[in-house]
Amino acid sequence: MNRVYLDWNATAPLREEARAAMIAAMDIIGNPSSVHAEGRVAKGIVERAREQVANLVGIERNEVVFTSGATESATLATRGRTVACADFEHDCVYAHQAISIPTAKSGEIEFEKFDGDLLAIQASNSETGISQNNFRWAQQAWGQGAMVLVDAVQSAGKFGTNLNDLGADFLMLSAHKLGGPKGVGALCLKLGVEVNPTITGGGQEEGRRSGTENIIGIAGFGAAAEAADCDQKAGKWDALYDLRNAMEARIADAAPDAIIVGQDMPRLTNTSCFAVPGWKGETQVMQMDLAGFAISAGSACSSGKVKASRVLKAMGYDDITASSAVRVSIGPTTTEQEVMSFADAWIKAYKKFAAKAA
């Protein structure tokens, strides 16, 4: 059976550019902290990747701190700060929440004054794809010297995500969402902004994140960031809008009780989250897996847990609906035939569910 991968928001397939950069980096002997020729070659790889990542989000390369991924980046940015965020934030940010920001059923943040010193906002939600567009307004309205952390893990490389344009102080990235390797990411921070290091020791990354750099992973990250930037500018993600909408239209036509979350909101063009109340999300995932399609019932960090989606509950959906949602996320190499084959398989399973529920 030919498998169809429709879970790009969990992790994107490794890009050939990233694979080639990683293979080349494997032959580098030196430690990037060493001053000899071999060390300088290794350091050059790290700095080249730093520039590639910086270019993706429109900043200078000395504003990029390499980490093991978004979870570490979130911990680094929030350490020692009172964090305000919506309840639909990714677990890596939500774990540090001190103040809860109200959320409308549309998925929009309802801003109000708060006493914290760090406002964390997802550019785009990993489960629903719903995007926020109020970063500068939020910074001005909340004021009081608060800083802004933007989770750009899902948006970077898909639509314009520039740290300065967003008015952010921090911006989080993860390589494997861009087609890079797993286990490497970055915290981008505006010049003049500092962090309280969580990993101390040798003073790498200008003292912000000690430890010998993961040269192989960083090389892959840089190559993926550069390729993602090219794809974005070429409109490859914009082209997914019609494909995603056609799939949703087919599903809605066959399943009138299906709820398509955020259908009328700005969303990532590759993401569709929908629910048939009473049809468990994990059941759908297993049925589609047996049919040859990889989808999810939430973010990869929370999938596999039999409970209602915290994201949908934060948006005001009841437990039954929040337990019934699945996510389909596609990419530039996904074909129309793959998407429509999935829709047909899902509709076939849906009809069986509806017949039993009748």
Catalytic residues: 301
- How far is Cα 251 from Cα 269, in angstroms, rounded to an integer? 17
- Which residue, among 326, 323, 14, 350, has the nearest Cα to 183 in the 3D structure? 14
Q: How many helices (H) and strands (E) does the chain have?
A: 12, 12
Phi, then psi, of 85 in degrees rounded to 5: -160, 165
Cα gap 160→54, rounded to integer Å: 13
The residue type at 7: D
Enter the tokens of residue 118. Answer: 């760090």
Q: Contact, 329 vs 270, CB < 8 A? A: yes
- The backbone region for 23, taken as left when phi is positive above 0, alpha when psi lies in -120 to 50, beta otherwise, is alpha
Four-residue CA torsion sign, 24, 28, 31, 36: negative
Residue 179 one-letter amino acid: G
Q: How far from 282 is each of 78, 199, 255, 297, 306, CA to CA, in Å?
A: 32, 37, 18, 6, 7
**CA atoms of 150 and 162, how far apart (whole Å):** 10
- Burial group, residue 260, by CB count within 10 angstroms (0-12, 13-18, 19+): middle
H helices present in the chain, as ranges: 16-26, 37-56, 70-78, 91-94, 135-142, 163-166, 215-233, 240-254, 281-290, 310-314, 319-322, 336-357
Please give, one letter per residue, the 3-state secondary structure of 242-260. Answer: HHHHHHHHHHHHHCCCCEE
Position of tokens 């909408």? Answer: 245
Q: Going by DSSP bridges, is the β-strand pair 170-174/147-151 parallel, antiparallel, or unpaired?
A: parallel
